[in-house]
Amino acid sequence: MSTTEFHGPVMESDTFDRLDLQILSALETNARASFSRIGAVLGVSDQTVARRFRRLSAEGGLRVVAVRDPELLGHDQWNLRLRCVPDTALKIAEALAKRPDTNWIALAAGGTEVLAGTRPHSPGDRDDLLLGKLPRTPSVVEIRAHQLLHRFFGGPDGWLQKFRALTDDQKAALRPEPPAPVIGPVRIDPEDEPLVDLLERDARVTYPELQRATGRSESAVKRRLAALVASGAIYLDVEYDPEILGYPLSASLWITAAPARLQSVGEAIAGHAESAYVTATSGVSNLMVSAVFKNTAGLYEYLSGPLGRLDGIQHVESVPYLRRIKQLTYPPPVR
């Protein structure tokens, strides 16, 4: 992370307010914190937290889910850019969204480009998609595949932290008790799959439900979940539509940095308020940034300001999203 002075984003929404932001931030701090615990820290009732949570879920796409961390697990990750025949991109995007190995899909470039993130479960799955299905799709006229090499920001580091909606004392009061250190490789064992599968659908599922799904005792479930999170094999993520915070415009920025400055540029961008995900990639461009903005003027100001002033950047291609088709493992809500 850059050590330069940081100016966080500002929430600007006519529908949701600062308490909503604080609840989201509380969930990012401790995804399984009870409504009563969140309410006590924020100074509101648990009924208020529950009511806001339901509204954020219904209208803002809020979901709290477990995510396998492919970087720590040593699994491949790829970002795909597919140029399609006009009027076919949406159909291709929707087909990709049904695949369990895709984690986000967006339409861009006037509706002729599909952007996709994929996490193949095996080399065979990767080859099936990149060497089999996509090349045989007649309406796909160009495929660019970029392997993700190093994450500078994102994953367990959520964008919400950049709002600084909670004090250090509030975060400390929300954090769960630290588990015992995990010794050994980061891994998800076969017997963990029922536990992780259920948490991937809802990370706030109750311990009795986890107990029934896994056949383990409640205490064993608690210990194993804590160990999986402590090892980094999974993290509990808060997913939502950034539009509810006043940031309706999302874009991918494909950046070419001088190789000797790749690390410093990636770290600097990770500290920018606009960046939600920053990774080094293979390909002609060597950095990909997922960024969010209040409007197109905000995108321009970022390109010509904080990003444009960074020493070592040689080229930037900005690709605003027209529509999100899939976010994480589910389609965003229809609004």
What confidence category does residue 328 fall into, taking pLDDT thresholds of 50, 70 and 90? low
Task: Supply the range of the domain harboring residue 260.
Answer: 71-154+248-327
Average pLDDT, the chain: 90
Q: What is the pLDDT of residue 6?
A: 47
Domain count of the fold of the chain: 2
3-state secondary structure of 44: coil
Backbone dihedral angles phi then psi of residue 285, each to the nearest 5 degrees: -85, 145
Is residue 12 situated within a structural domain? no
Q: What is the mean pLDDT of residues 108-115?
A: 88
Give 198's pLDDT tier (boundaries 50, 70, 90): very high
Helices (H), 246-295: 262-270
Is 13 within the bounds of a domain?
no
In which band, very low, low, confident or very high, does the pLDDT at 330 lie, cut at 50, 70 and 90?
A: low
Q: Is 166 found in the same domain as 104?
A: no
Q: Would residue 230 count as lying in a domain? A: yes
Could you report the per-residue pLDDT of 35-68, keeping only the tens digit for each? 999 999 999 999 999 999 999 999 999 999 999 9
Residues 6+ apart with CB under 8 A from 84: 92, 112, 113, 114, 139, 140, 141
Tell which of 239, 270, 296 closes a domain.
239
Spatial separation of the C-alpha atoms in residues 276 and 321, rounded to whole Å = 14
Between 214 and 109, the higher pLDDT residue: 214
284 contact partners, CB below 8 Å, separation of at least 6:
256
CA 263 – CA 25 distance, rounded (Å): 28
Show which of 177, 211, 239 is a domain's final residue.
Answer: 239
pLDDT above 90: residue 164:
yes
pTM, whole model, 2 decimals? Answer: 0.90
